[in-house]
């Protein structure tokens, strides 16, 4: 089901990137790759949204493998993934996103996030996420999350595509703008830093460092 939703948005984007290719054939190949990856998905506790994160990572790895077979690079796949993400979000009415904005800053959500952060540091699921909850300063950000270990990075490294991780992170820009996260991030594990420093400010501007290879495509969405 998830693959079909993404594929629907990907079709028009892929037509532009693969002018001389049969897009239906490309998507069929990507689906086959994804289905082969499903049994290899790690169990990371069964909690959302992390399960969705790892499923989408597997989808994007499947797309990357198809791209590689056509001579495309990780950078080119990152550009394609960003455009697919933009198309995917545009397929939903804006009012739905507005409904979610208060949820991500609610007392209940933050309490649950604090609890999960503490649980993650027990490393019960070695292939999962490990992170710290950062209390807001009351001015520049409402709360933060420092990811110390990333399940997506681990998964990509395990299946031979660690270079792809760097080019998936910018998609967070799209979600920040759609959901009013006001995301600020200066570094990521994918680029070799010791953590991903997410900071959230409700309704604030999105300020995320972007790899040079993707700066042009990201700028188009500003």
Chain segment 176-195, per-residue pLDDT in tens: 999 999 999 999 999 999 99
- For residue 158, the model assigns a pLDDT of 97
| 68: exposed, middle or buried (Cβ count in 10 Å: 0-12, 13-18, 19+) | middle
- Percent of the chain whose predicted confidence (pLDDT) is above 70: 98
pLDDT digits (tens, 9 = 90+) for 82-96: 998 888 888 888 777
Average pLDDT over residues 5-15: 82
- For residue 176, the model assigns a pLDDT of 94
- For residue 20, the model assigns a pLDDT of 65
The 8 Å CB, 24+ separation contacts for 91-94 are 91/8, 91/9
**Residue 102 — pLDDT band, cuts 50, 70, 90?**
confident
pLDDT digits (tens, 9 = 90+) for 119-162: 999 999 999 999 999 999 989 999 999 999 999 999 999 999 99
Q: What is the 3-state secondary structure (H, E, C) of 97-110?
A: HHHHCCHHHCHHHH
Three-class DSSP category at 169: coil
- For residue 1, the model assigns a pLDDT of 56
Domain ranges of the chain: 2-219
Question: In angstroms, rounded to a whole number, what is the distance separating the alpha carbons of residues 99 and 136?
Answer: 23
- For residue 105, the model assigns a pLDDT of 94
Q: Is the pLDDT of residue 5 over 80?
A: no
Average pLDDT over residues 199-206: 96
**What does the radius of gyration of the chain's CA atoms come to, in whole angstroms?**
17
């Amino acid at each position: 089901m998830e693959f079909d939703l993404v594929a629907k948005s990907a079709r028009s984007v892929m037509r532009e990137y693969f002018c001389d290719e049969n897009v239906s054939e490309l998507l069929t190949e990507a689906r086959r790759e994804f289905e082969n990856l499903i049994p290899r998905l790690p169990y990371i506790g069964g909690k959302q949204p992390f399960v969705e994160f790892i499923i989408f990572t597997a989808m994007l790895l499947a797309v990357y493998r198809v791209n590689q077979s056509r001579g495309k690079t990780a950078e080119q796949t990152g550009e394609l993934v960003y455009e697919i993400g933009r198309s995917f979000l545009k397929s939903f009415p804006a009012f739905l996103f507005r409904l979610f904005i208060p949820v991500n800053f609610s007392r209940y959500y933050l309490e649950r996030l604090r609890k999960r952060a503490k649980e993650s540091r027990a490393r019960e699921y070695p292939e999962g996420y490990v992170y710290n909850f950062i209390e807001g300063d009351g001015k520049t950000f409402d709360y933060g999350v420092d990811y110390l270990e990333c399940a997506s990075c681990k998964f990509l490294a395990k299946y031979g595509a660690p270079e792809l991780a760097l080019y998936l992170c910018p998609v967070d820009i799209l979600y920040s703008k759609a959901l009013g996260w006001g995301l600020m991030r200066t570094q990521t594990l994918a680029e070799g830093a010791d953590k991903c420093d997410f900071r959230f400010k409700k309704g604030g501007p999105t300020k995320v460092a972007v790899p040079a290879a993707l700066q042009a495509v990201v700028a188009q969405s500003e």
